[in-house]
């Protein structure tokens, strides 16, 4: 395959491929990379870039870079990256679950449901996490609270 180049600024690995790549038109929706703005109160300019891929066994994985977001531990706005999250697929929606704040509250999970439109040009994204004391970004708390927080976004191909 030749030399693989990894871009440390955006997490992309590039490798030269000899010959033609065929069959990409038959690639099922919503494989590929998507991007959306994520308005937040605690950090500005937040975006999410996520990639949905399919394994040889037919299962799906999602990887993402989100940031900047407030993260406990460093107690600052940082970019976070998660990779290889298994996605469940039901009725045209890809759903993943992962720790919402793994350092500050590892037991609180975030669920993200991604539903592509019929043309596969956009994905409706709904994120849900809780329980929280408050849904104000950066003020969820950990051990207490009764609120379930939800965000909705529209992602486009990147």
92-118: per-residue pLDDT in tens? 999 999 988 777 788 888 999 999 999
pLDDT at 70: 79
Q: For 47-62, give one letter per residue: b (16+ CB within 10 A) or e.
A: bbbbbbeeeeeeebeb
Question: 27-157 in CATH: which number?
Answer: 2.40.128
pLDDT at 3: 58
Q: From the CA atom positions of the chain, what is the Rg in Å? A: 17
pLDDT at 124: 97
pLDDT at 144: 72
pLDDT at 7: 52
Question: What residues of the chain score a pLDDT lower than 70?
Answer: 1-27, 137-138, 143
pLDDT at 133: 85
Strand bridging mode 32-37 / 147-157: antiparallel
């Amino acid at each position: 395959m030749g030399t693989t180049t990894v871009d440390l600024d955006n997490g992309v690995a590039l490798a030269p491929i000899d010959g033609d790549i065929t069959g990409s038109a038959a690639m099922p929706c919503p494989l590929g990379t998507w991007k959306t703005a994520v308005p937040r109160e605690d950090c500005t300019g937040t975006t999410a870039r996520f990639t949905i891929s399919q394994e040889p066994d037919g299962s799906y994985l999602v990887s993402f870079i989100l940031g900047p977001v407030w993260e406990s531990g460093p107690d600052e706005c940082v970019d976070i990256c998660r990779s290889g999250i298994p996605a469940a697929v039901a009725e045209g929606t890809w759903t993943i679950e992962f720790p919402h704040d793994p350092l500050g509250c590892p037991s609180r999970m975030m669920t993200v449901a991604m539903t592509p439109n019929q043309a596969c040009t956009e994905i409706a994204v709904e994120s849900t996490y809780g329980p929280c004391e408050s849904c104000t970004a950066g003020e969820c708390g950990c051990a207490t609270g009764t609120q379930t927080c939800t965000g909705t976004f529209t992602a486009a191909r990147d």
